[in-house]
Amino acid sequence: MALVTVTDPARDYLAQLIEKQDVEGMGVRIFVTQPGTKNAETCLAYCPPNEVVPTDEQVDLEKFTLYLDHNSVPFLEEAYVDYSKDQMGGQLTIKAPNAKVPKIDDDAPLPDRVNYVLASEINPNLASHGGEVSLVEIVDESVAVLRFGGGCQGCSAVSLTLKQGVESTLKERVPEITAVRDVTDHSNTENAYYQ
């Protein structure tokens, strides 16, 4: 079963919301839309008894049942739901680090492990500048050939990003990688974050 952590404050908050629905047996379903893609989003929704799917995994949270959408389970590994009170009322936070790419084993093929690190660690950071990076291929058994896009393509800081960000992270997380090579055409600066 997928490991989804729901903190006590989140459980209590969701239980209060469910109680207001006044539906006997109401639960909450957690699922990922477009799982395994860069557009993946983790969602929570009410789950009345007539909408329970037999293949859903069920987690008894004492105050209600959490239903894990069967197709989303690999992408919900290590998901975390929390609630914190603030001046405006509160903030429900859902983090699912494997929503865009399911967690893979240490013995997975090298390209899969590189893609996992790109999707789960590097691209979320580049997204703040509208950028992204993708694996083109692995050459010489240890060199990751990458292509930058979005705000990274043509960006004047891409060499710094490549060496200090992308390459150092990949080499740390995937020890078989000894170097990275950028094959992006950086002459196109139309979307560059820094020109």
CA distances from 66 to 5, 29, 102, 131, 190 (A): 11, 6, 20, 35, 46
Residue at token pair 């390459």? 167
CA distances from 130 to 20, 90, 125, 140, 151 (A): 40, 28, 9, 31, 5
Measured distance CA(50)–CA(62) in Å, rounded: 20
Measured distance CA(9)–CA(30) in Å, rounded: 17
Mode of pairing for the β-strands spanning 91-95 and 143-150: unpaired
Q: Of 124, 123, 186, which is closest to residue 155 (Cα–Cα)?
A: 186
43 known ligand binder? no
155 known ligand binder? yes
DSSP state of 135: E
As annotated, the binding site for [4Fe-4S] cluster includes 152, 155
